[in-house]
Amino acid sequence: MFNFSNSKKQNVVGFSIVPGLGLEAVVLDKARGTVINYGRKKVDYNFSQRNIQNYSQFKNALLELISEMKIPPKSYAYLVLPNVYFDFMDMANCSDNEINMALTSTAEEFYSFKKEEPVVGWCDVANISSTNNRRLAYCAFQRSDVEEIKQIFANAGLQLAGIETAYSAVLKGLNLVGLIRDAVLMNSSWSALLINTNSYAIFQMEGKNLLSCEEIPLAIKSFSTAEAYEAIVSNASQFLSDNGPSQLYIISQTDDISAEELKKLMRFDRETIAIDSNRFSKKSLLDVRAALNFNEVNSMSLAALGAADIKSDFGLTLNILNNDPNASMGVYFTAPIFGQMTEITQAYVQQVTLTLSVILLLVFGSLYGVVSMLNGTNEKEIASLNQEISRLDSLIKALEKVEITEDGIDMTAIIDEVAMDNVTAINFYDSISTDIPKNVWLTKYYNKQGTKLAIRGVAESIIDIYEYYKNLRIVSPQSDIRLTELKVITDPNGKASDADVEKFIHSLAIDKDVDRLYSFVISNTEFLPDAPKTRGKNTYNEADILSKPPAASLNEEIEQPSGQMRPAR
């Protein structure tokens, strides 16, 4: 009925630039914990300027990855760049515009932004101050580089949903591969040591909360291998001694430093996990189904995995395009739809909302029509009943004017008592002859004082029983009668469970091998016992009523079988 353009399975392509590795592309199947496809192309990075060295090279690498990995047009993309600027700021509750202005002004003091306007992205992190201020982690990139990157992705036919620093992406990658699962669950302290070609960074964490981050410049290539290891060990050991984390994760993204070797040299007596995204890598972080070059999958970076996990449950996302309307069509979250994991986008949400609105409109429109029809029917029935009551009232008033006596009895008073006190009884008696559905047979009828009613019968279907019950309710809307008994009285062979009922239905014109019969009682009282009843000096029983009904007031206790004792068809 409706065609959702985004209802098919969609994947976000995570791109990451890692100096030494180049431009990585990852398509992730998060539900299964596997990489659907992986590719890598050479892209040079300028450490001194902190930007992509050659944008023509970057563009060609991007187009080659799209072609060779068969990435569909208009796919969503998320890019992670090497860190340019990262810091924290404590702020009072402010609007997004005020926060953006404050963070931009602070970032402008950094040397990379002396001649270039920064673009910032931020998120809330743990509040470690003694005040109620918000603690924000934020990153910044050069605006001209961001605009250049956005244009390249647009020309390549991809929808760029975000740009983020490698610092936060690496932490999200650790969460994705499950290495920090226990630390997050226990909300324990842990640290990550991220080593790049020209610097290394140390993160202090508590569960998912980022408490601090320190970047230390280190021109590794200007040191001997042993000196580079010792410089990192010396500084990191002091940090670990001061903060005392329960676990340490060493991540190396440079071919000059082995995380495994550094782990052996580190003066830290607690659990240490080494992760190499370089030539020392021996095993990929996740299973990979397809790759442009399987020799490269072992060195896949955590940053690339963090880029592909666009809506990570880790919570630390520093997307500088959060306020960019052209990126707002990005993915909100992933959910199972019709048996497959689907990326929920703004367009998808809009289409589902429209569809539900149309369906609800149709449903409520139909209900309104049914209610209106029922109201019209009820009004007609009530008008008809009021007409009948008016006719009876006229008859009663006419009888009041007639003075007839018999043996000293005032007949006018008797008629007045019978008519005025038993309007409900008269209505119920009328219903016996006019309102019984054709597949309903009454076996007993009891009425006391015009308001105490009990009717027993047999019917071929529950719908017929309901129709008769509804007719009785229409006859007397104020009555408190209820369907007090309903049961199947025939077994699968068409035999009645009750001998008396079997005798009664024996002559009915029904297919006893197929049809089922139901017995029912509609009442607001109980049937009188079958013992003889006394009226004045005379006695009578049910047989007497059947053969010769007594001339009794409607107020008398009468139990009599229905006149409809044969099938109507």
Q: What residues contact 414, with CB distance under 8 A and at least 6 apart?
A: 553
For the stretch 33-45, pLDDT in tens is 999 999 999 999 9
For the stretch 512-521, pLDDT in tens is 555 678 888 9
For the stretch 383-419, pLDDT in tens is 888 888 887 777 777 766 655 554 555 656 666 666 6
Level-2 CATH architecture, domain 187-275 = 2-Layer Sandwich (3.30)
Beta bridge partners of 463: none
CB environment 357-367: b (16+ within 10 A), e (fewer): eeeeeeeeeee
Is residue 352 very low, low, confident or very high in pLDDT (cuts 50, 70, 90)? confident
Residue 515 contacts residue 460 (beta carbons within 8 Å): yes
Domain ranges of the chain: 187-275, 431-560
For the stretch 50-80, pLDDT in tens is 999 999 999 999 999 999 999 999 899 999 9
Is residue 451 very low, low, confident or very high in pLDDT (cuts 50, 70, 90)? confident
Distance of CA 162 to the CA centre of its chain: 26
Structure-token pair, residue 365: 């429109």
Angle at 353 between CA 350 and CA 354, to 5 degrees: 85
For residues 19 and 208, give the distance between their C-alpha atoms in angstroms, rounded to a whole number: 27
Can you spell out the DSSP letters for 362-377?
HHHHHHHHHHHHHHHH
Residue 525 contacts residue 452 (beta carbons within 8 Å): yes
For residues 321 and 305, give the distance between their C-alpha atoms in angstroms, rounded to a whole number: 19
Among positive and negative, which fits the CA dihedral 467, 468, 469, 470? positive
| Of 98 and 559, more confident | 98
